[in-house]
A and B are shown apart, each in its own frame.
Chain A
Amino acid sequence: MKPRSKRFAWILLGLVGLSAATALVLNAFQSNLVFFFTPTQIANKEAPVGHAFRVGGLVEQGSLHRHGTEVSFVVSDTVKSIPVTYVGILPDLFKEGKGVVAEGQLDDQGLFHAKQVLAKHDENYMPPEAAEALKQAGAMNSKISKSIVTESGSR
């Protein structure tokens, strides 16, 4: 091979490899993005049915029920709320009245089947998605808003 055609082959090979990698990455990226919705958005039917997403808010007081490893609770942004079921063991810091983020799918009855429940690693910590849900729900002038400010301000 002449040096020039060799170089051309190199560049071609590089470009093919690069575009293949880019296509692969972007495709994987597209199909694995998980969007976030607040209970209000879900109530307004903005969230997809049968596609994974995250919901965040506070666990409503008195809404937690256990039946063996089956758990059900209600996530609320103080305006709207959504029932959630989960099979498995909840994280240590999961508590009624505290912030929570759940990832899973909505069924056509409006029940959220969580595959994963996240409550973060610090007692006073509010998951940002949960804080966002409360903020969007306009709860900023209530008692909760104070707790958001202090909770995100210090550990």
Chain B
Amino acid sequence: MIPEFGHFALIVCLLLSFIQVAVPIAGAQTGNIAWMRIARPTARVQFALVLFAFGCLIYSFLTNDFSVRYVAMTSSRLLPIQYKVAAVWGGHEGSILLWLLMLTFWMTAVSIFSQHLPESTLARILGVMGFISLGFLLFILLTSNPFDRLIPAADDGQDLNPLLQDPGMVFHPPMLYMGYVGFSVAFAFAIAALLGGDLDAAWARWSRPWTTIAWVFLTVGICLGSAWAYYTLGWGGWWFWDPVENASFMPWLMGTALMHSLAVTEKRGGFKFWTVLLAIFAFSLSLLGTFLVRSGVLTSVHAFASDPKRGVFILIFLVVVIGGSLSLFAWRAPKVGLGGRFSMVSRESMLLGNNVLFAAAAGSVLLGTLYPLFLDALGLGKISVGPPYFDTVFVPVMAPALFLMGVGPLARWKEASLPELAIRLRWAALVSVLTALGLTLITSHFSILVAFGLLLAIWIVVTAGFNLWSRIRPLPDSNLHPLQRLKGLPSSYLGMLVAHLGVAVFVVGITMVKGYEVEKDVQMDLGDIVEIGPYTFKFKGVSEGEGPNYRFQRGDVDILRNGEFVRNMAPEKRIYLVQRNPMTNAAIDTGFLRDLYVSLGEQVGNTAWTVRVYYKPFVDWIWGGCLLMALGGVLALADKRYRIEKRNSKVTTQNERTA
């Protein structure tokens, strides 16, 4: 019965979502307060219903109810309990339900934390989000119902794909979806503003924290996915430009542009057009990503068994949402106005540069991802666009963005003077060039790309330090200590600095890995050694054993540094019992400055194996940098002005009540 309850909850939710679209928006257009007020309770009840349905599905997984088709397809009796829960989003139906759960969660969050918004604005925002929820509910109920029964019931399930039986599966998809779906809030704010015609600085201030928090989740989600791919796929890569990765990366690029554009709209009232457009694009790309991953047009580890009906549905929904919002934009945008003027050298112009570069980057990823699909769909042949394309495009597009990252935060709003900026930055430039040169000289061999990457990273760090110092240095007319002044700085400013430092750390990681990694695929017999730099890898054989739902062969490899024992490594080759799939589990020795990576290949003799031995300098800085970026976002969210604003608004509502 439990699955039927879940199914029923979704049907009720569908009816509610109809109401949530129609009534509050109609109320906002006609000024009917009672109609507008319906938005909040419907949003919360929708969340409760979807949460209930989700709970029902988890229950079916935990109780091994293989009469539910979806459970039979993605779980099995032997599956460890944490993966039974994670298996809920281990297939198509469940992951769409997770998408919906996140959406209703964000709706509820908006209904709670945006009490200070004018009633009509909130009604429109929730109405727009209700429309998205309506679309996804229809999608689930018509094409991808996770509660469908399997008659007769299976004795045991087909198990979760072994690749997904990993702690990464527990955290990566929910984080990623929180981010993806979180952009629906910024989107709803933009559409609501277009509908209401009140696109002003207040609008930007309201939608800014929502955009930032979605971006933080997306950043962490992508970062987790990348780290997961690194240690689980057994070949040590951390980003493959796989279409599905691109699907999550495009909204991230757009979201990054949106965050920076919102800063201008809030502070200077500028870029309104552009901000609205970015909000629409960021969410459209999230939807497109969902379409790409879930429609089956792509094939990768992320793409599940597909059904053409699903692809057609999402495609139609995509056309309605993107087409609808862009038409609305074209219709209402002339009323929006252009906002404040600014000169060619100003913080605005540099942020505009950032926006253009990020949008161009997203566009080039889009081209590389969609073009092969178009050709294939038109029957013009199969092609693929690989990492070389993306690498070639990304370096020249991102390099100027990294340069601007050093200059922009120091430039004045509205009008900055180029000579003055040059004078302020000459020492920073000199220090960066000298440090980069010094660092490249002490490395083993010189490479122009490494030198360039390090230069940009150091440039970001030095200019950020310079920026901070100019805000906290002792002033002649004040006796505050720099540390006291540091405490007085707004946390959004510190967040910006931390996020930019994160970018620098990230750039160092990529540069060093690309420049100095060593990858060796070798055949090793008992006692054979491989040497990389100061490290010696000694192969001591392979033993066999059994895990909870798999059998494994475990390698025994000692690592020595300059002859001294460092540690033992145990890379595994697993065969999962249900699907009989082999899986490689690499052994990684993580370090601040380098990772050592060993994974087993195939047995080639009685005791001989092929083994991958990698040396990856600074690779963890890649994810460390991402986490710093996310931390920067969190700091920006903790800024006082958001709290003060809330307190003020409470006061005003009380005043209204007493008045």
Contacts and interface: CB of A to CB of B under 8 A. Distances in A.
B382 A129 contact: yes
B392 A155 contact: no
B299 A128 contact: yes
Best-buried of A32, A35, A129, A153 by chain B (most CB within 10 Å) = A32
A128 B521 CA distance: 28
A155 B382 contact: no
Contact of B602 (A17, A89, A153): A89
Q: How large is the interface on B (under 10, 10 to 19, 20 to 34, 35 or more residues)?
A: 35 or more
B364 A36 contact: no
Contacts of B234: 92
Interface in A103-141: 103, 120-123, 125, 127-129, 132
A36 to B, nearest CB: 4
Nearest to B164: A121
Contacts, number: 103
Contacts of A54: 382, 384
Contact of A34 (B158, B367, B384, B601): B384
B344 A10 contact: yes
B381 interface: yes
A35 B383 contact: yes
B523 interface: yes
B305 A153 contact: yes
Q: Is the interface of B mostly helix, strand, loop or mixed?
A: mixed
A91 B10 CA distance: 41
B328 interface: no
B344 A6 contact: yes
A92 B388 CA distance: 24
B542 to A, nearest CB: 15
B381 A155 contact: no
A36 B581 contact: no
Best-buried of B299, B344, B584 by chain A (most CB within 10 Å) = B299
A154 B305 CA distance: 6
A79 interface: no
16 contacts: A10-B344, A24-B396, A25-B393, A29-B385, A32-B389, A34-B383, A34-B384, A35-B381, A36-B383, A68-B522, A89-B601, A89-B612, A93-B581, A122-B161, A129-B382, A155-B158
Given A25-B363, A103-B386, A123-B579, 8 more contacts: A33-B385, A68-B610, A69-B522, A69-B523, A87-B521, A128-B299, A132-B382, A155-B73
Interface of A: 6, 9-10, 13-14, 17, 21, 24-25, 28-29, 31-36, 54, 66, 68-69, 87-90, 92-93, 103, 120-123, 125, 127-129, 132, 153-155
